Chains A and B, each alone.
Chain A
Amino acid sequence: MLWNTILLALREIRRNILRSFLTVLGIVIGVAAVITMVTIGGGATVQIQQQIASMGSNLLMMSPGKRLGPGQATGNIPFKETDADAIAREINSVAAVAPVSSQSIMAIFGNQNWTTQVTGTDNQYLKVTNRSIGAGREFSDSELHSGAAVCIIGETVRKKLFGGQGALGEKIRLQKLSCDVIGLLEGKGQSTMGMDQDDIVVIPLSTFHRRISGNQDVGLIQISVRQGTSTEKARSDIGRLMRERRHLSASDDDNFNVMDMKEITKMLTGTTQLLTALLGAVAAVSLLVGGIGIMNIMLVSVTERTREIGVRLAIGALENDVLTQFLVEAVVLSSLGGLVGIALATAASFIAARLMQVPYIFNPGINLLSFLFSAAIGVIFGFFPARRAARLDPIDALRHE
């Protein structure tokens, strides 16, 4: 008997192919939208988390100028290398301090040129930013002190200038400075803010001061805080030290700014998650609209269906026969819609993830959830009107207008 009921349900679906298609379409679009949005959003969040993990833990970034938001305000007193030394010396919770000065300069090798970020710093920079040398070596102490013409280059710069050739031991030109390539940085990819972290040439700070900037200014001090100690505490200690060193009175505002990278990335993660939730909500609305579409189609056809139920009852169907048939029909349709939706979403989010360069991460929870939701919609809107009709006397169902 159950097989017969399934047969009847399948006949019914085939018989009303347009209605079935429209019903399924609503679910397909809703399910696909929700899953795609959530999957892409999840991928973006994971990507940011991976970047946080790779960025070096407990990183503080100190720049001159008042706290005005991202970037540096001009016209402020720059730092000196001694500031970095003082921080390393005075603050116990600090693991490494790197003074950093950088400038955008065209690097030239042979007939190739590439404008990149030239950064003057010391070996601490690698430690602070959690980077390593892929090939070659770090700066030696004497190179750092004497301001030798040596550089360590990032993967992007190597590719642009050298292509397939070996770069180690070659000379590249930065403005008037011709320097030996002594090391290659391990590739790191895009930063959280979308910047290419491999588009960089690192030279000793003293070299930078003498040969490039012509002054002793340090644009930025990057500090990594020892694991297990509070970055908040380190931040306020550094603040106090710097106020003292910069001779600020109690009434003066800070003329420097210490940013906690963790905080920034946390904020970014939060933003991404919020966006994901927002997109998910929009998609959920589309699923809901799909559900309302189904309800509409079901209600429009309720007159025809009620009469049909009347006919079925009149020729000997039990209430249960009718209910099982409609239940099977609703479940088949909405499951079909759910499955097609999931397939579509998988394809769409896979492609979208490729295009947006975020990892594709299958999210079983949202797939299951939207499948169940679509099934529930189908059952509620397909089954309950039928149940009401099946409980009528056959003659009332037949007379339904």
Chain B
Amino acid sequence: MKTDGAQQRGSKSEQHLIEFTGVTKVYGKGHASMQALRGIDLRIDEGEFVAIMGPSGSGKSTCMNILGCLDTPTSGTYVFRDVDLGQLTRNQRALLRRYYQGFVFQGYNLLNRTSALENVELPLIYRGAPAHQRREQALKALDTVGLKGWESHTPGELSGGQQQRVAIARAIVTEPAVLLADEPTGNLDTARSREIMELLNALNINQGITIIMITHELDMAAYAKHIIHFLDGLVASDEQNGRVK
């Protein structure tokens, strides 16, 4: 079941890939509650390379999790390709993740004691791809991230940078519409970080994958053409090609 058939919404002239309207997120209840997002409005188009910046606690990770359908907003609407995600069931959101999104976690989140190849194959297994195609695509994705020859290594046998690249390979193996990356270079040295950024840039340009990434570093954000700053659960600034939106 794909979400293609869901009802059309909004005018054709103003189609965005992602549209956040007044998105809030509150953790906990009563006095102990904490407002992570206080009303976010975002517009992201197909093929964009977006960097999300901001100090820790500003709500950017929460926003990322909602973007990746890992979490649900407390209020507000999230429209993905004209589909209001608030109307979807758990399973429909899982299918959205399966067919349209790739997520790269800050902590990699690879399966332990499982080879790089099997880790990368995993999303394809859920897609029901036949074994030979699965293997072929996974090897290609590993090649893309520069891990040819490391297929049979488990995460424990790989460096942090290599694990990060396996995680990216796992996210792109399905050729998603959007790649969401939470500090993909957070644990890497400058040289490695640059490699990852070149990789993401290439994916954006060559395969037309929309990339949304969180970063702390300005020189990493420099790869992006669309930079969103978060502060205290609000969007502080939203610049596209140096032009404030």
Whether the pair A398, B97 counts as a contact (CB closer than 8 A) is no
Whether the pair A315, B123 counts as a contact (CB closer than 8 A) is yes
In the assembly, what is the distance between CA of A398 and CA of B182, in Å?
A: 14
Knowing A16-B113, A393-B71, A395-B71 touch, does A315 contact B128 (C-beta < 8 A)?
no
Contact of B91 among A312, A315, A319 (CB under 8 A): A319
Whether the pair B70, A314 counts as a contact (CB closer than 8 A) is yes
Residues of B within 8 A of A315 (CB): 97-98, 103, 122-123, 126, 170-171
Within 99-132 of B, Cβ neighbours of A (below 8 Å) are at 99, 103, 105, 109-114, 118, 122-123, 125-128
Does A317 interact with chain B (Cβ within 8 Å)? yes
Size category, A interface: 20 to 34
Knowing A15-B114, A393-B70 touch, does A316 contact B97 (C-beta < 8 A)?
yes
For the complex formed, measure the closest distance between the CB of B170 and the CB atoms of chain A, giving whole angstroms.
Answer: 7
Does A347 interact with chain B (Cβ within 8 Å)? no
For the complex formed, measure the closest distance between the CB of B107 and the CB atoms of chain A, giving whole angstroms.
Answer: 9
Does A240 interact with chain B (Cβ within 8 Å)? no
For the complex formed, measure the closest distance between the CB of B237 and the CB atoms of chain A, giving whole angstroms.
Answer: 26
* Number of A-B pairs, beta carbon distance below 8 Å: 73
Whether the pair B97, A307 counts as a contact (CB closer than 8 A) is no
Whether the pair A318, B128 counts as a contact (CB closer than 8 A) is no
Whether the pair B71, A312 counts as a contact (CB closer than 8 A) is no
Whether the pair A398, B70 counts as a contact (CB closer than 8 A) is yes
Does B59 interact with chain A (Cβ within 8 Å)? no
Knowing A15-B114, A395-B71 touch, does A317 contact B126 (C-beta < 8 A)?
yes
Residues of B within 8 A of A312 (CB): 122, 126
Given contacts A1-B128, A16-B113, A316-B97, list 9 more A-B pairs with CB under 8 A.
A4-B128, A310-B109, A313-B94, A314-B109, A316-B99, A319-B90, A321-B126, A395-B71, A398-B70
Does A159 interact with chain B (Cβ within 8 Å)? no
For the complex formed, measure the closest distance between the CB of A47 and the CB atoms of chain B, giving whole angstroms.
Answer: 52
Does B144 interact with chain A (Cβ within 8 Å)? no
In the assembly, what is the distance between CA of A4 and CA of B130, in Å?
A: 9
Does A308 interact with chain B (Cβ within 8 Å)? yes
Residues of B within 8 A of A15 (CB): 111-114
Within 286-321 of A, Cβ neighbours of B (below 8 Å) are at 304, 307-308, 310-321
In the assembly, what is the distance between CA of A25 and CA of B172, in Å?
A: 41
Contact with B along A311-352 (1 / 0, CB 8 A): 111111111110000000000000000000000000000000
Residues of B within 8 A of A388 (CB): none
Does B184 interact with chain A (Cβ within 8 Å)? no
For the complex formed, measure the closest distance between the CB of B225 and the CB atoms of chain A, giving whole angstroms.
Answer: 27
Closest chain B residue, CB of each to CB of A394: B70
Residues of A within 8 A of B70 (CB): 313-314, 393-395, 398
Residues of A within 8 A of B174 (CB): 316
